[in-house]
């Protein structure tokens, strides 16, 4: 059984500044918003999940870049297939 730390404890333990956390959470939402586990969430739940993902290290700039690259390749393949 995994026990999640409270969000305020994650903030306290984080090495990131509060503005960096918000910026990264917004970028994370942008790349993950079409994923099944994000689509079904309310705005409040989405923000909570994104911030928690940032604070736990699930969301990083490197992972965002990787997701964007994969989506770009997928879109390019779809465009080429349609021609």
Average pLDDT taken over every residue of the chain: 86
Categorize the per-residue pLDDT at 7 as very low, low, confident or very high, splitting at 50, 70 and 90: confident
In this prediction the pTM is 0.78
Lookup: tokens for 27: 């970028």
Nearest to 46 by CA among 60, 58, 29, 61: 29
pLDDT of residue 2: 61
- The rounded Cα 10 to chain-centroid distance in angstroms is 16
Categorize the per-residue pLDDT at 72 as very low, low, confident or very high, splitting at 50, 70 and 90: confident
Is the pLDDT assigned to residue 1 strictly greater than 70?
no
| Count, residues in the chain | 83
Residues 6+ apart with CB under 8 A from 28: 50, 53, 54, 59, 64
């Amino acid at each position: 059984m995994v026990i999640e730390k409270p969000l305020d404890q994650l903030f306290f333990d984080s090495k990131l500044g509060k503005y960096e956390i918000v910026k990264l959470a917004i970028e994370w939402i942008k790349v993950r918003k079409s994923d099944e586990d994000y689509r079904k969430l309310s705005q409040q739940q989405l923000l909570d999940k994104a911030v928690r993902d940032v604070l736990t290290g699930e969301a990083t700039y490197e992972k965002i870049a990787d997701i964007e690259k994969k989506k770009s390749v997928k879109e390019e393949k779809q465009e080429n297939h349609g021609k």
